[in-house]
Amino acid sequence: MEQPGLSSACWKETGVFGDKSCPELAGLGHCRHCPVYTAAGRRLLDRQSPRDYPEELAKLLAAPKDEAEAETLSVVVFRLGPELLALKTVFFQEAAETVPPHSIPLRTGEVFTGIVNVNGELICCMSLAALMEIPAGETGTVGRTAYPRLVVVARQGHRFAFAADEVLGVRRFPPEALRGLPATAAKSVRALTAGIFPGEDRTIGLIAEEKLFAALTRSLAP
């Protein structure tokens, strides 16, 4: 069912579905933000369906799921100062260009920094670094330019944006790889983190989404 010309698509070779060597990934975070990927998707949707499409689709839906895929967690990894953190992909909406938030008199503070416009929608902008008491500090990969991003997350109708020093893309790991935080971790970090899992060169903290969104909502209270 693969269309001619798409088997050698860049996202399958050097993008997130390949060896991740594309230089654009550092700035975009994921191929879904790339105009090449978007244009290819539009061509795919506009194509005429093959004659045997219903039969092939029925076979795909009836096929058993890949156990290795089903038993892994998909997360988006990002960096705040010296800390590598992750949030489940289902709660991650986009990584936008950074913009200065518009402050609200008598409301903005250390955690709630103001309002930002993302694609025409006004969203509360928060400082996740302040919430978790993470100090500022550049600890990106040597030789690679870090691109700050405005991360937009959502859960049960609540949307927030926060600044990240860089977005490192999607990772998958088995749930059994999750470990408890070391005793040396800061109390504020431990309060919002479900555990840690191994990354390529250091461990990554998995944020507990229910605790995160509850804390962000509390930070909006006058």
The full DSSP string for 71-121 is: TSEEEEEEEETTEEEEEEGGGEEEEEPP-PPBP-TTT--SSEEEEEEETTE
Residue 99 phi/psi, 5-degree rounding, is -135, 145
Higher pLDDT, 217 or 143: 217
* Residue 45 near residue 67 (C-beta atoms within 8 A): no
The confidence band for 7, taking pLDDT boundaries of 50, 70 and 90, is: very low
Provide mean pLDDT across the span 63-68.
Answer: 58
Mean per-residue pLDDT of the chain: 83
What is the tens place of the pLDDT at every residue in 121-179? 999 999 999 999 988 766 655 556 778 999 999 999 899 999 999 999 999 999 999 99
Residue with tokens 């156990």: 67
Best CATH choice for the domain 73-219 from the list 1.10.3720.10, 3.40.640.10, 2.40.50.180, 3.40.50.1970: 2.40.50.180
Q: What gap in Å lies between CA 156 and CA 13, rounded to an integer?
A: 35
Query: Which residue spans of the chain are classified as CATH 2.40.50.180?
Result: 73-219
What percent of the chain lies above the pLDDT cut of 70? 82
Predicted TM-score (pTM) of this structure: 0.65
